[in-house]
């Protein structure tokens, strides 16, 4: 897969062969991700990318890689931990200073932070759980809350609520969590709920 055709590698792993090998080298050198007795770093990263890139369940890789489910799960966790350790190097957080537009049409929103809205994303869940995830349109969804600033960049995202949950309930949860969404002092928020 990662040593064969460029097209196959990109279709399966969502990376070119060169980018795949560069990622493996980076994880080896910067994150101390190493080969185990039977599994190479390349195979670990390939399993991780298949799950993440295609939304596969880990158990579907059992037949492809001829590995125990526990082995695949452990290596998936190792690669995820390694990639998360690179977060500060590759993810630039937005500038905390919020500058609203100065156009005439925005004069009514002087102290507004941005906008908040909930949205539904279709999901596949076990039949036993479908009742909780069925929204008012009878679709199986998860309810997601998003807050954007003036620059249309996300300031806060809370995914994972059942589709049947009301937007106000999701907002209440977002404001009561340990990593709660907090509106800065002196600012207001335009609610789309």
Task: Decide: 136 and 148 in contact? Cβ < 8 Å.
Answer: no
| pLDDT value for 162 | 86
Q: pLDDT class for 47, splitting at 50, 70, 90?
A: very high
Mean pLDDT across the chain? 85
Q: Is 153 helix (H, G, I), strand (E, B) or coil?
A: coil
Residue 30, H or E segment: helix 17-31
Collapsed DSSP state (helix, strand, coil) of residue 82: helix
Name the band, by pLDDT with cuts 50, 70 and 90, for residue 14: very high
* pLDDT for res 70: 92
pLDDT in tens, 162-191: 888 887 888 888 888 888 888 777 777 666
pLDDT value of position 39: 92
Q: Looking at 76-140, which runs of residues are DSSP E strands?
A: 112-122
pLDDT tens digits along 18-45: 999 999 999 999 999 999 999 999 999 9
What is the model's pTM? 0.55
More confident residue, 167 or 129: 129
Instruction: Give the pLDDT of residue 56.
Output: 85
**Most confidently modeled of 69-73, 95-99, 121-125, 166-170?**
69-73
Does 163 or 50 have the greater pLDDT score? Answer: 50
Q: In angstroms, what CA-CA distances link 155 with 41, 79, 146?
A: 35, 27, 8
> Of 161, 162, 170, 176, nearest to 192 (Cα)?
170
pLDDT band at 99 (very low <50, low <70, confident <90, very high): low
Query: What's the pLDDT at 98?
Result: 62
């Amino acid at each position: 897969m990662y040593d064969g055709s460029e097209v196959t590698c990109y279709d399966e792993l969502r990376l070119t062969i060169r980018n795949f090998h560069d990622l493996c080298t980076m994880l080896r050198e910067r994150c101390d991700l190493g080969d185990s007795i039977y599994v190479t770093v390349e195979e670990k990263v390939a399993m991780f990318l298949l799950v993440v890139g295609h939304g596969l369940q880990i158990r579907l890789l059992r037949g492809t890689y001829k590995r125990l489910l526990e082995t695949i799960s452990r290596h998936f966790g190792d690669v995820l931990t390694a990639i998360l350790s690179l977060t500060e190097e590759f993810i630039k957080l937005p500038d905390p200073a919020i500058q609203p537009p100065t156009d005439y049409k925005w004069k009514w929103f002087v102290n507004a932070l941005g906008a908040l809205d909930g949205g539904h994303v279709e999901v596949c869940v076990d039949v036993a759980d479908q009742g909780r995830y069925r929204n008012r349109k009878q679709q199986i969804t998860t309810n997601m809350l998003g807050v954007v600033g003036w620059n249309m960049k996300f300031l806060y995202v809370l995914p994972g609520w059942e589709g049947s949950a009301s937007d106000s309930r999701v907002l209440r949860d977002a404001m009561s969590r340990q990593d709660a969404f907090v509106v800065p002092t002196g600012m207001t928020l335009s609610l789309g709920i």
